[in-house]
Structures are given as C-alpha cells and as structure tokens.
Amino acid sequence: MALLVFFQVFVLAVAVPAVGQKADFLSIDCGLENSSGYQYNKIDYVSDGSYVDGGKSYSVATGYDPPSSTLRSFPSGERNCYTLPTAAGTKYLVRVVLFYGNYDGKNSSSMMLRFDLHLGVNRWTTVKNADNEAYEAVFIAWASWAPVCLVKTGDATPFVNVVELRPLTDALYPTVMANQSMGRHRRRNMAASGIYRYI
C-alpha cells in the first residue's frame, strides 16, 4: 500500500490570518471535557468526544497553554483511533501534538513513552519524544474518513493532546499521491521567531 516518505518544511513567512480560521480546518483538543470548545490563537478548538471512542481525559501536571493542557490517554486496547472526516481525493496535512507534562504523575522519561502512530493501515512513525513534539503527515484522503491511530508497541500508554487536520491545495507536495503519503522530517522557521505551528 502507500509509502510514507519524509519531507521538510521551511516556513518563510509568518502569516496568521487576521480573522477567524478557515471553515474546513479541524482542530481537536483531545481530552477537553467542555463540549462547547473555545478559540485560542484565532483557531477554533473542539473537544474530541465525537472523533474517538474510549480513553481517559487528563490535564497535564505543569501549567501549559491550551490546547496542550489536556490530553486523552489509552490504557486499554492495542490500537485506538481518531476518525477524521475527509473528502476522498483531497490532500490533507494532519498534525498530532504530544505533550506528556507528567499527566500520570509517573515522571516517565521520553524513552519510556514510545508508541507508534498509524495513518489508516500504514505505520506513520514511532513517537520519539512524547514530551512536546508534533508529528505531521501529508496524504490524499481515500474515503470520507481517515483513521489516525495510536498503537501500543510496548509498556507505554499511548496518549495525544492535539489532532489537527488542514486541507491543502493540489499543487502543494506534488510527490504526495493516492498511493504515497509523506511524514514530516523536520520543520524549520526561516523567518522571525513567532507563531508558526498553526500555519
């Protein structure tokens, strides 16, 4: 099936839209109890209740800005998936943010927080630093939904703080095809410091 190759992103300009977010952006604050959602940095965040089954809600132990301040962890099941709504044939960027923040009070080190992310049936990556790391992939949707899954590979309990989905225009990342997705290798901000995560 599809290959996951790696890409680098160089952000040349910081362009945060002055008005609200685009209608087809989906930003999920995992573990958020309030089903009304909220707006942060001009992005509308929703709770994850309608995108996932199971798991438990936690807040990170240290103070941290939303949307990373809550997370959902999955102590049971080998594979737990978020079902994201997609339009078949459309290209998407999906981003998963992990911020451990000692939510379970176990002081786990990064080495102890290893698990895998899957995009559909394909292994996307192994989480290497679950204490403040974002993972991104670009893919072409093959159906009206795409599962993003957290898969146990050892003793670590998978968890996730944020899942974001952004439709891309066809012209971006031409090497991404229906049979070939891409996982991000590295993202570098080449312009002034500031907010670039949300682009």
Ligand X SMILES: *[C@@H]1O[C@H](CO)[C@@H](O)[C@H](O)[C@H]1NC(C)=O
Judged by the rule CB under 6 A, the positions of this chain that interact with ligand X are 3, 34, 36, 38, 105-107, 177, 179-180
What phi and psi, each to the nearest 5 degrees, are found at residue 91? -85, 135
Nearer to ligand X (CB atom), residue 125 or residue 180 = 180
Nearer to ligand X (CB atom), residue 111 or residue 191 = 111
Q: How far is the CB of 40 from ligand X (least distance, A)?
A: 10
Residue 67: is the preceding peptide bond cis (ω within 30°)?
yes
Nearer to ligand X (CB atom), residue 81 or residue 91 = 91
Nearer to ligand X (CB atom), residue 46 or residue 71 = 46
Q: How far is the CB of 122 from ligand X (least distance, A)?
A: 12
Q: How far is the CB of 34 from ligand X (least distance, A)?
A: 4
The beta-strand segments (E) located in the chain are 3-11, 26-29, 38-40, 43-47, 56-59, 70-73, 79-85, 91-99, 116-119, 122-126, 131-140, 145-151, 159-160, 162-168, 180-189
Q: How far is the CB of 39 from ligand X (least distance, A)?
A: 8
